[in-house]
Amino acid sequence: MPMLAVLLSFALLSPRAQDPGSAPAPAASSPTRIEWQRSLADALAVQQATGLPLLVVVNMDGEVFNERFAKSTYKDPAFIASTKGWICVIASPDRHTDKDYDADGNRVECPRFGGCTCSEHIQIEPELFRRYFNGTRNAPRHVGVGKDGAIAFDRFLDQSMQTAIDAIAKGGGDASKQPGPSTDLAVLFGRRDALARRTLETMWQRGDAVARQKLMAAAADAANEPIDLLRAGLRDENADVAAKAALALAKRGGKDALIDLEDALARQPSGPVHDALVARVVELAKTDDAAKRLAAHLVAPAVPSRIAAPWSNAWAAPGYDDGDRAAVEKELDRCEAALKQRPDDDETRLALAVAQVALADVLARDGEKGPEFWFADAIASARKVKAKDLQAEAQGVVAYAAYMTGETQACGTALALAQSAVQSARQPSAPLAARFLDVAVAGTASRVFGETGNNAARAWRAEIDRVVAMLDLMSERKAVREGALLAGAGLLEYGGLRAQARARLADAVARFPGSAKAHERWRNRLLVDLGVPSMRKAYASFVDAATNKPEAEWFAGYAALVAGEVETREKRAPQALSAYGEAVERFGRSAAGNADFADSANGFAVLALAGRADLLAEGGRAEEAAADLLQAWSLRPESFDDQDGLQRKPRGVASRVAQTLEKAGKAELAAKLKPMLP
């Protein structure tokens, strides 16, 4: 897209100092497309208000007549004019774009039909089938329905497309009864037609913060469930606008807006707005199973979860470093020697089992052979422990070793026994307690996710709270493990407690700053919940707080690279250019700060430079694009065949830039790119 067109598109979406009541409303009808209503509920409401008949259209991809209708007839001005006497809906099972909303919550219309999103024309079909299709599915199909619900015609399997075209032209009502333009907010929020919804969304796009707050305040009294408008409001960078959108959603959101309520809660983790959103979910829970489960997760439990002793007791400090192979082997020798003297000493046998687990972990960590044998020995040793007050710990060993060797059933059984054994005042060893709680968290998550399909309406708040309590205990004892944090965050996400999950993931990144898995989870949570700008700010803070700056800069650089790709996908060129520039700078500092990071950092910097070059060339700045590519080539030529997240290769970008330079008469500069070309 030429840069002028890009800038114009941003101008249309940028806030302007304008009162929503003064915003120009779109024309009553478009001469270039059919006015598809967004849902059957909307269409029926408009039909009752106007008395116009309903036109139900079915289309699918690939078949000849379907393609002719979609690409020619539905775009023909004469045919479009003939639909003005109808209230129109369309069903199509095929998706034509990969999303229905952009990162700011704005609608992404179906490129094949326009006016509706792909999800809308897909999701409307089952209800249309139930009401109007007489038990058969055919496409193309055109059904005329009177205000009383009687079928006026049902055209499908005709020899000629003209049969349906003529039926539509002859059967329509008085086009003057179609809803017309308005700028009155009370009127617009009382209407369900697509024109009214589109007018409100246009006012939103063109309004400044004051105008947007006025829109959101009016939306709280809407009669037409303006969820598309509120979805954009929830993502506004102005906190007051977003809060008013959330309050309007809390007042007007129905069961179909449950995911939007969850999105709002992710952005409003506490306070009066949060409480209003929770209250709405609780109200919906009276009649909706999905809302019932979410409500149970959102409402705080009356009694905090407790962890059975001995795991909740103070933990005994180990007499050795369980990550040091020499120290572990020394402990093994001590236990074996002691057992030769006293074979029935259960405490020593338990200590042996724990040491065997520790050695297995060391071998697995270092990539050496045989950890599975040591895990098996640990299970055998633990099962020889007979003392009742040691059973919880012995079963804890079995649970961990079985988990590490993939014996799911044995792990589950041992976990249950370890948590239900006779409570003891003993202090378990810290290495065993940390390992056991880690697996207890993972096991709980596995059970919840495994049973969800058969218990769709069940609430899992008790299990989630138990996991949170275990995480808090491990954190308090400074023994929290990465796997437990990530599994716990996953459970919180599942329960709709996304703000809490985000906090756990931030904790995981702070505790394990070099973990790619922790960063991936945190980065994605930030993107989904808060958007690209907030994700970039969070990573800037992460770098500021880091002790290992080169490592932190690497992860922040990768986050900026991802941000650049997201902004490019959303067609926000200025923001994408900024993000790519940040990625290049951060990867440069990482490479300069630690030579071990240089090769990887330079490789991703190449992708960022190529991504920026692609946008610069598209915007008419091919010389700057060439400079970026030359810089990338100097960093790491091998990366020119790597793909970025948008499936682009730097070599392909270089080819496009070289062609642009050639056409612009800049052959000398284009020649400098020749070594990069395929």
pLDDT tens by residue, 142-198? 999 999 999 999 999 999 999 999 999 999 999 999 999 999 999 999 999 999 999
SS3 429: strand
- At 11, is the pLDDT very low, low, confident or very high (cuts 50, 70, 90)? very low
Residue 511 has pLDDT above 90, yes or no: yes
- Give the SS3 label for residue 224: coil
DSSP string, 295-354: HHHHSPPSS-----TTTTSPPBPPSS-TT-HHHHHHHHHHHHHHHHH-TT-HHHHHHHHH
Instruction: Retrieve residue 574's tokens.
Output: 């200025």
Per-residue confidence (pLDDT) for residue 305, from 0 to 100 = 75
The least confident of 9-13, 91-95, 242-246 is 9-13
Please state, for a pLDDT cut of 90, what percent of the chain lies above it.
Answer: 86
User: 423 falls in which pLDDT band (50, 70, 90)?
Assistant: confident
Q: Which tens digit of pLDDT belongs to each residue from 209-244?
A: 999 999 999 999 999 999 999 999 999 989 999 999
74 has pLDDT over 50: yes
| The predicted structure's pLDDT at residue 455 | 57
Identify the H or E element spanning 662. helix 650-663
Strands 151-155 and 87-91: unpaired
pLDDT of residue 364: 96
Burial of residue 379 (number of CB atoms within 10 Å: 0-12, 13-18, 19+): buried
According to the model, what pLDDT value does residue 301 have?
73
Please give the mean pLDDT across all residues of the chain. 92
User: Is 389 or 447 the better-scoring residue by pLDDT?
Assistant: 389
Output the CA torsion 573→577→578→583 (10° steps).
140
Task: List the Cα angle 154/157/160 in 5-degree steps.
Answer: 100
> Alpha-carbon distance 539 to 544, whole Å?
9
Does position 46 have pLDDT exceeding 70, yes or no? Answer: yes
Peptide bond into 301 cis (omega under 30): no
Q: What is the pLDDT of residue 1?
A: 30
Query: Is it the case that residue 4 has pLDDT exceeding 50?
Result: no
Q: Which residues of 178-211 are buried (b: 16+ CB within 10 A; e: fewer)?
A: bbeeeeebeebbebbbbbbbbbbbbbbbbbbebb
pLDDT tens track for 512-527? 999 999 999 999 999 9
Note whether 113 and 124 are within 8 A (CB).
no
What is the tens place of the pLDDT at every residue in 465-492? 989 999 999 999 999 999 999 999 999 9
Write down the H helix ranges in 17-161.
40-50, 64-71, 77-82, 118-123, 125-132
What distance in Å separates the CA atoms of residue 160 and residue 608, rounded to the nearest whole number? Answer: 53
For residue 300, the tally of other CB atoms under 10 A from its CB is: 8
Q: In angstroms, rounded to a whole number, what is the distance separating the alpha carbons of residues 461 and 287?
A: 19
The H or E element spanning position 141 is: strand 141-145
**Is the CA virtual torsion 421, 426, 430, 431 positive or negative?**
negative
Per-residue confidence (pLDDT) for residue 566, from 0 to 100: 96
Q: What is the mean pLDDT of residues 72-96?
A: 97
Decide the pairing of beta strands 54-58 and 87-91: parallel
pLDDT band at 44 (very low <50, low <70, confident <90, very high): very high
Q: How confident is the model at residue 302 (pLDDT cuts 50, 70, 90)?
A: low
Say what the pLDDT of residue 9 is: 31
- Alpha carbon 127 to chain centroid, angstroms: 28
**pLDDT single digits (tens) 603-644:** 999 999 999 999 999 999 999 999 999 999 999 999 999 999
* Residue 62, amino acid: G
Note whether 503 and 536 are within 8 A (CB): no
Rg (C-alpha) for the chain, rounded Å, is 31
Reading the block at residue 147, the tokens are 């205000």
Answer yes or no: are the C-beta atoms of 458 and 464 closer than 8 Å: no
At 351, the pLDDT band (50, 70, 90 cuts) reads very high
Two structure tokens written together for 355: 């040491």
Residue 457's pLDDT band, with cuts at 50, 70 and 90, is low
Q: What is the CATH number of domain 29-177?
A: 3.40.30.10
Average pLDDT over residues 532-552: 97
Helices 430-451/391-404 angle, 10° precision? 60
Given a contact cutoff of 8 angstroms between Cβ atoms, the answer to whether 89 and 128 are in contact is: yes
48 Cα distance to chain centroid: 38
The distance of Cα 218 from the centroid of its chain, to the nearest Å, equals: 29
Q: What type of residue is 8?
A: L
Could you give the CA distance from residue 553 to residue 591 in angstroms, rounded to a whole number? Answer: 9
Cβ 463 vs Cβ 444: under 8 Å: yes
Q: 497-533 burial, b for 16+ CB within 10 Å, e for fewer?
A: bbbbbbebbbbbbeebbebeebbebbbebbbebbbbe
Q: Kindly state the DSSP code that residue 16 receives in the 8-state scheme.
A: B
Distance CA 402, CA 378 (A): 10
**CA pair distance 207, 201, nearest whole angstrom:** 10
DSSP state of 52: P
Distance, in Å, from the CA atom of 535 to the CA atom of 120, rounded to the nearest integer, reads 30
Q: Of 19-23, 321-325, 658-662, which gets the smallest average pLDDT? A: 19-23
Helix (H) or strand (E) segment spanning residue 436:
helix 430-451
The residue written with tokens 């029926």 in the block is 44
Across 502-514, average pLDDT: 97
Calpha distance 418→439 (Å, rounded): 11
Structure tokens at 526: 């930030």
Closest CA to 267 of 565, 534, 560: 534
Which strand (E) or helix (H) includes residue 545?
helix 532-545
Choice between 464 and 19, residue whose per-residue pLDDT is larger: 464
Per-residue pLDDT at 546? 97
Q: Say yes or no to pLDDT of 7 above 60.
A: no
